Amino acid sequence: MTSDPSVVELTTAFARLQGLLLDTQSATAAVSRLAEVARDLIPLAVGAGVTLIDADGVPASTAATDPAVEAVDRMQYELGEGPCLSAWDTVSLQRVEDTLTEVRWPEWAAAAAATGVRSVLSAPLVHREQEIGAVKVYAAEPDAFTEHEEHLLVLLATAAATLLGAAQSPQSVHRLSTELKSALADRQQVQAAVGILMERHDLDADAAHTRLLVAARQQGVPLLGIAARVVGRADDPRL
């Protein structure tokens, strides 16, 4: 996957996203971290925000990386118009190229422009065909975002929705974080085994990973079992 820079960026962001759910005890804290991940994923963004909505479509928890973003967000709900509301209505990414010339949401666009926001991307968070919110990034320049940023934001939104979907109550956050903790531990075990095989056989990461897969299939053992064997017994003659 190293050949596609957007996947590398996403994988990094995604690793942080996993971390955020391990560390946070509430959905509010989780969306706050998600907003930071979104802003850092898209370097042109000066700010980012995340809103989770409840089953009735009412914003339940919101977070933004700075007060200006929060104000621009809040105006949407006060005015009843804006890219995030449209992102929910249409279940599709919304792009504002320039708030000074935006005609779809004139009142909101004028208010946003007055705070210094010129371009916006807003992607819906959809989990199991249910909309659970939106993630948006803002830039001070017009036409700041291209298809590349759209692609990144949609990938982030999808991954985040998968993880946040079950995280709307403290109990489910706890359950999810327990599962994620064990998933991350398993993943680290596999990566450790890949590293050992890379060194042992002078392979690149993909080839070493594939070697583990083939060994698992040949020996009729789950991949995690093979990985544990490699990590625990460094001289397994079959690998």
Partner 1 sequence: MDDEAIGADQARRLRAALSAADLELGHVWMHYFRLGGGVSEMEIDAYLHHALTLPALQRDLLTQAVFELADGHQIPHLPFTVDYHIPHSPFRVLDRDEHPLGEPPADPEERDEHDPGGDEH
Residue 71 is a binding residue for partner 1 (CB under 8 A)? no
199-238 footprint of partner 1 as x/- string (CB under 8 A): -------x--xx--xx-xxx-xxxxx--------------
Instruction: Give which of 132, 141, 160 is closest to 96, Cα–Cα.
Output: 141
78 binds partner 1 (CB under 8 A): no
Of 43-51, 97-105, 142-150, 154-162, which part binds partner 1 (CB under 8 A)? 154-162
Q: Does 187 bind partner 1 (CB under 8 A)?
A: yes
Q: Which residue's CB is nearer to partner 1, number 95 or number 187?
A: 187
β partners of residue 35: none
Q: Is 216 exposed, middle or buried (0-12, 13-18, 19+ CB in 10 A)?
A: middle
Residue in 68, 71, 110, 154 binding partner 1, rule: CB under 8 A:
154
Q: What is the footprint of partner 1 within residues 111-140 (CB under 8 A)? A: 128
* 5 forms part of the interface with partner 1 (CB under 8 A): no
CA atoms within 13 A on the CB side of 167: 30
Burial of residue 203 (CB within 10 Å: 0-12, 13-18, 19+) is middle
Strand order across the 59-64 sheet? 59-64, 47-53, 130-139, 119-127, 94-96
Using CB under 8 A, list all residues that contact partner 1.
1, 7, 10-11, 14, 128, 154-155, 158-159, 162, 179, 183, 186-187, 190-191, 194, 206, 209-210, 213-214, 216-218, 220-224
